[in-house]
Amino acid sequence: MFVPETIFVEREVLGAPMVRRCRSRAPDVPVVEIDDRRQLLGEGDVASSKRQLVLALRRSAFLEHCPAGTRGMACCNYLVMHFASNCPMDCRYCFLQEYLAANAPLTAFVNPEAGLAEIGAMLDAHPERQFRIGTGELADSLALDPLTGLSRELVPFFAARPNGLLELKTKTTAIEDLLDLDPCDRVVVSWSLAPEAVVATAEFGTASIAHRLDAMRRVVAAGYKVGVHLDPLIEHDGWAEGYRELIAAVAVAVPRDRLAWTSMGALRLSPGLRTRIRERFGPLPLLAGEQVPGLDGKWRDFQPLRVHMYRQIRAWLTEAFADVPLYLCMETPPVWEKVFGETPPREQLLGATLAAR
């Protein structure tokens, strides 16, 4: 469990149930009262911002469209909710170290009821549509759960919603609060996975693959469906064997009918993120490949290498999970066509197919 060095709490929310829960679950962590989380902006560096926890009111909207559906990328019509910002883990490729550079303090927003009201209004306004909604865009969905217990509010909410499917995306094993809840097939717990060689060199503070697979088994036994994201794919010595063995291990851990979807995505680095990674960690191998800028300004591995990796890994995924939907994240229609031999489905169609799983 992540234990922060200090918990900063906005005075306005001192009495909020989530604040009381965090304090009772981490009774030895010193608490400092502050007026507004914004007074902490600009203090400390990326690493120190991950060691503190701020409990604050979210004053802006919780819900937005996933940024993947921009600038020439095939889109799966995904919505994201921001119940937290930043992450206590420190993956070397993580875009948050650039994206949140000016807004870094690791924060849990303690008014989730406002976010759920926002989502409820949207779901009620469009009963004919299926929505797939995730919380793992600007944060890991479960990293703070042992402190906040947020999933105890999210799971019952979505379990009662026929047209909203929640995805909790994580690299942790923080599943304890999920296990006694009934998701009614409206919650998918997804793991981002990579060969152990990648985890050891690029995913600092995350759970080992063996522990992630064990957590998968436990949530499946508790009634959840799971998802698997091979994203980002990292080209390295022995990558093919590494991904083949990883897929075989998932096939042992998860019955095929409990796997909601799988996805693949390339390593993508904006120029600013490349600079930030080099400043923090030096010339890492993941910066050394032959990368080219894409339509969205992000740099990815040279297209022939991406297509080669996608096709190879797709073959293993299809062999292990024949009927399970597989999609590409943040890729162009031409790459999609080279991998699947057909144009990507229209976003509404792909989104609805996945949401109906």
Closest to ligand SF4 by CB, 81 vs 96, is 96
Instruction: Name the amino acid, one letter, at 25.
Output: R
Q: Among 22, 84, 85, 140, which residue sits at the site for ligand SF4 (rule: CB under 6 A)? A: 140
Nearest distance, CB of residue 232 and ligand SF4, angstroms: 9
Closest to ligand SF4 by CB, 175 vs 339, is 175
DSSP per-residue letters across 70-99: -TT-----EEEE-SEES-SSEETT-THHHH
For residues 356 and 132, what is the distance between their CA atoms, to the nearest angstrom? 9
CA distances from 332 to 45, 66, 197, 296, 305 (A): 34, 16, 28, 10, 15
With CB under 6 A as the rule, give the number of residues binding ligand SF4. 9
Half-sphere exposure of 193 (CA within 13 A, CB side): 28
* Residue 84 touches ligand SF4, criterion: CB under 6 A: no
- Binding segment toward ligand SF4, per CB under 6 A, in 53-61, 88-96, 122-130, 243-251: 88-96
For residues 236 and 259, what is the distance between their CA atoms, to the nearest angstrom? 27
Nearest distance, CB of residue 175 and ligand SF4, angstroms: 15
* Range 199-202 contact pairs with CB under 8 angstroms and sequence separation of 24 or more: 201/92, 201/285, 202/91, 202/92, 202/93, 202/234, 202/284, 202/286
Q: Among 161, 171, 212, 229, which residue sits at the site for ligand SF4 (rule: CB under 6 A)? A: 171
What pairing do the DSSP bridges indicate for beta strands 7-10 and 84-85? unpaired
Q: Among 46, 91, 166, 228, which residue sits at the site for ligand SF4 (rule: CB under 6 A)? A: 91
- Binding segment toward ligand SF4, per CB under 6 A, in 5-13, 68-76, 87-95, 294-302: 87-95
For residues 89 and 356, what is the distance between their CA atoms, to the nearest angstrom? 31
Q: Among 9, 68, 94, 155, which residue sits at the site for ligand SF4 (rule: CB under 6 A)? A: 94
* Residue 87 touches ligand SF4, criterion: CB under 6 A: yes
User: Residue 341 corresponds to which tokens in the numbers above?
Assistant: 């031999």
Nearest distance, CB of residue 171 and ligand SF4, angstroms: 4
Nearest distance, CB of residue 163 and ligand SF4, angstroms: 28
In the numeric block, the tokens 């759970």 are attached to: 207
Please, are residues 288 and 279 in contact by the beta-carbon 8 Å criterion?
no
CA distances from 34 to 2, 25, 105, 277 (A): 22, 20, 13, 31
Question: Which of 154, 159, 184 lies closest to 169 in space, CA to CA?
Answer: 154
**One symbol per residue from 202 to 221: x for binding ligand SF4 (CB under 6 A), - otherwise; what is it?**
----x---------------
* Residue 89 touches ligand SF4, criterion: CB under 6 A: yes
- Binding segment toward ligand SF4, per CB under 6 A, in 10-18, 65-73, 82-90, 238-246: 82-90
- Binding segment toward ligand SF4, per CB under 6 A, in 53-61, 83-91, 107-115, 279-287: 83-91
- Binding segment toward ligand SF4, per CB under 6 A, in 2-10, 23-31, 85-93, 320-328: 85-93
User: Residue 63 corresponds to which tokens in the numbers above?
Assistant: 């819900």
For residues 217 and 192, what is the distance between their CA atoms, to the nearest angstrom? 15
Nearest distance, CB of residue 312 and ligand SF4, angstroms: 23
DSSP per-residue letters across 183-223: -TT-EEEEEE---HHHHHHHEETPPPHHHHHHHHHHHHHTT
- Binding segment toward ligand SF4, per CB under 6 A, in 17-25, 84-92, 153-161, 337-345: 84-92
* Residue 177 touches ligand SF4, criterion: CB under 6 A: no
- Binding segment toward ligand SF4, per CB under 6 A, in 86-94, 237-245, 292-300, 315-323: 86-94
* Residue 80 touches ligand SF4, criterion: CB under 6 A: no
Which spans of this chain sit near ligand SF4 (rule: CB under 6 A)?
Answer: 87, 89-91, 94, 96, 140, 171, 206
